Structure 1
């Protein structure tokens, strides 16, 4: 009996994700392809691996008994891929980088572009979004984010700081005046992150100071915050790296130290000695150091 490893990967993906379509997305293929591979595997084994139900596929006892071995094979395959990718090829090869929203678009992307321009043998691909890539499974080589990395066998390094401050437009300040902590920002308007974000460090200090301010908008995107402040509608806490570039925006002086968040990079331990990875991380650290005026703003 000959079993195709690609068919086994399909079975594992269906166990993990529950449906043919979800498994296809995870594998980067189509639903019909996943269905054909599953049929081929069941014919090869002469056994049923999943019961077809209205809501998806329910694993049989047989496939559940195989999951442990399939997980080991999957981990071993990714380990081989990482070791091959980490081979000492000098400053050449591909680097897949992931980051978040504005951090990736406005801060990390120019840094990566300058590195790529200086090292033509390195091809960099940057993917920005809310998805958390699994570095252990080789979904990305490097990830830049604010929070800590929780996956096993990852190396985490602080590469720089991003300072925040409260900002308002010159038009807003002319119309509403400078907010007064003494009266809890009475008569002023604010934009906050949406409630799904929970308590985030760069905003957590403000509600106690602005207890009487009116919240006119909650949004999960920095672009919305920036647009509302630029338009003179309200004030918001913004990263100094971006807001200081806006000629119409002003920092609002407050008797409170400006919050700072660390930017972290994570990568698998198998990649620690890869020249292009080390060089890129060092490059980003150096670029953050050049942003010193924005990292420790003076109110």
Structure 2
């Protein structure tokens, strides 16, 4: 495909992005205020222009093809860059002010968001950002937060959700722990090791068992409902735990356990209320977060 010769119809691109974000033509039509047949024609037109299939139909829904996921990543970045360029060109970012509340897990709040917040401060220094570090699902419908970062797509039609990444998690342990207890060679070896509990022991066991990791309550002697505290225990050499690759791979003194084991893939959804998405300050932070969270982890 020669991308240099392709001329995009941005109505088709908008229809494609809305369909990908919402998961169906009908939902995309509601978001864009158009009819479902119109959205369908625009998506089909973009597929014809690119010469590839962007979606495949699974049951009553649409699922992105591998080519569709690649195209979505690029057009999201193009759209978000266009929004920020227009804001900067108009001198609006410096004048944007007010308070915005972002809710994310304590791990995301502590380890992932700080570089983004530093960049945001340079874009809009008059903004006031409050981070609500919470591992429970905050009800954005009740305006407990303006923007949420979650791993589950909300079902409420009044919420706007965008899938910004499919992140990877691996098992990690401190080098000090592995030197002391030995490095597992396969999943069976893990039954002889200590795990750090993120939440309840029963939930952890039910999560690990389908992955072929057979452990019991005897493998869990320490844990916390705080992901930050649990990760600190891992760093102190107290046991093994799953963590996002962009955190685990960049933490000094930490190694992947069973590095050849396939990763656990989890979605990262960015969520706001539909009427809030039209606010300049919410849109600025939402688009900045979308670009930031969609980047591959730094090695």
Same fold flag (TM > 0.5): yes
Q: Is 1:292 the counterpart of 2:293 in the alignment?
A: no
- The CA deviation string for residues 20-41 of structure 1, in whole angstroms up to 9 with x for no partner, is xxxxxxxxxxxxxxxxxxxxxx
The residue number in structure 2 matching 1:48 is none
Choose from 90, 97, 102 the match for 1:93. Answer: 97
Q: Distance in 1 between matches of 2:107 and 2:187?
A: 33
Cα 1:279/1:205, change in 2 over 3 Å: farther
| Per-residue CA distance 1:75-107 (angstroms, 9 max, x = gap) | xxxxxxxxxxxxxx9541322222221212221
Cα gap change, 1:128/1:200 in structure 2, threshold over 3 Å: closer, same or farther?
Answer: farther
C-alpha distance in structure 2 between counterparts of 1:191 and 1:104, whole Å: 20
1:120-146 residue CA offsets vs partner (Å, 9 max, x unmatched):
243322222245444334332211222
The structure number with the bigger radius of gyration is: 1
CA contact (8 A) 1:197 1:220 kept: no
Q: Offset at 1:278?
A: 2.3
Gaps of 5+ in 2: 1-90
Matches within 5 A, 1:28-39: none
Cα displacement (A) at 1:167: 1.0
1:27-78 alpha-carbon deviations (Å, 9 max, x no partner): xxxxxxxxxxxxxxxxxxxxxxxxxxxxxxxxxxxxxxxxxxxxxxxxxxxx
Any unmatched runs of 5+ in structure 1? 1-88, 295-299
TM-score (norm 1): 0.58
Secondary structure at the aligned position of 1:261 is classed as strand
1:228 corresponds in structure 2 to 233
The match for 2:208 is 204
Count of aligned pairs: 205
Q: CA RMSD in A?
A: 3.1
The residue number in structure 1 matching 2:184 is 179
Q: Distance in 2 between matches of 1:206 and 1:175?
A: 28
**Does structure 2 conserve the Cα–Cα contact (< 8 Å) formed by 1:169 and 1:232?**
yes
Alpha-carbon spacing, 1:236–1:286, altered in 2? closer, same or farther (3 Å): same
